[in-house]
Structure 1
Amino acid sequence: MARRHASCWAGSVIKIRTAVQADAENVLTFWKEAAEGTSITDDTDGVTRLIERDPEALILAESEGLLVGSVIAGYDGWRCSLYRLAVRPSHRRQGIATALLTAAEERFRAVGGRRGDAMVLEANERAQHAWAAAGYEREDHWRRWVKPFRA
């Protein structure tokens, strides 16, 4: 069952809820406008598999039925990982990212998580400032290593 709650941010009601399968296409369209970079998993199959495997992971923010924010709060039983924190450009600087991170951190605490790790693009200075403002610290001694798996 999708977790839902509403908050008042900058004078408008922002509803925070977890995604359902039917949200996949809308989320992908939203990410094209609001998120930086793309991923090999940015397709309907990738998003629906995320929701199926971990129904609480993809957290959405809505204002008057419009998708205005997202964050993926993944928990694998050991690590708390944050991805795709994005806010629609027309709705930035209204506390939506803060509301999404609050929901993600509540989820992590509820499952016993002890630290959140965020993936942030080097070139995305706006995001770096947002993460720092939320209390996250950059760790320069780590580097991400990736290998795409092709079908």
Structure 2
Amino acid sequence: MNDLRIRPATPADAESVLAFWTVAAEGTSITDDVDGVTRLVGRDPEALILAELDGLLVGSVIAGYDGWRCSLYRLAVLPSHRRRGISAALLEAAERRFAAVGGRRADAMVLEANERAHHAWSAAGYGRQDQWRRWVKPFA
């Protein structure tokens, strides 16, 4: 995909990213609002990586780094554009980001019921760790 543009999100992208996630991403999050997205971009301008094709938002991944861990969230591709290498391009950009900051391992948050995502992550070289479970406590 020579016309694919990979770039970091800006605060102005928040509403279009949220609309994109309603179509392309599985599940929702307590932080799925304009404030959540703009806070992410404001705190870490390189974390939310977008893929565009002819000006259309076709993919996203959050590549968060806190100085200790490299964490991946919200890898999503527009359904009409899947199986074209977009997720691979997004993960390559995320992994380059992590390597540049000295990251040693990337962890991906993947919904248990999202079988399609399991295959995509496996194809990208990621493996499930059954000995870990995520524990959460919402603040709002």
Q: TM-score, normalised by structure 2?
A: 0.99
Select the residue among 55, 68, 91 that pairs with 1:101.
91
Query: Which consecutive unaligned segments of at least 5 residues does structure 2 have?
Result: none
Q: Secondary structure at the match of 2:14?
A: helix
Return the offset for 1:114: 0.2
1:149 partner amino acid: F
Query: Which consecutive unaligned segments of at least 5 residues does structure 1 have?
Result: 1-8
User: Following the alignment from structure 1 to structure 2, what is the Cα–Cα distance between the partners of residues 81 and 31?
Assistant: 18
Tell me, yes or no, if structure 1 residue 68 matches structure 2 residue 53.
Answer: no
Return the offset for 1:18: 0.2
Name the counterpart of 1:49: 39
2:40 partner amino acid: L
After superposition, the C-alpha distances for 1:88-142 in whole angstroms (9 at most, x for unaligned) are 0000000000000000000000000000000000100000000000000000000
Q: Secondary structure at the match of 2:57?
A: strand
Tell me, yes or no, if structure 1 residue 115 matches structure 2 residue 105.
Answer: yes
Tell me, yes or no, if structure 1 residue 17 matches structure 2 residue 7.
Answer: yes
Q: Secondary structure at the match of 2:71?
A: strand
Return the offset for 1:13: 0.9
Tell me, yes or no, if structure 1 residue 36 matches structure 2 residue 30.
Answer: no
Return the offset for 1:55: 0.2
Q: Secondary structure at the match of 1:146?
A: coil
Give the fraction of aligned pairs with identical amino acids, expressed as a percent.
78
Q: Secondary structure at the match of 1:100?
A: helix
Name the counterpart of 2:82: 92
Return the offset for 1:40: 0.2
User: Following the alignment from structure 2 to structure 1, what is the Cα–Cα distance between the partners of residues 68 and 35?
Assistant: 25
User: Following the alignment from structure 2 to structure 1, what is the Cα–Cα distance between the partners of residues 103 and 46?
Assistant: 14
Q: Secondary structure at the match of 1:72?
A: strand
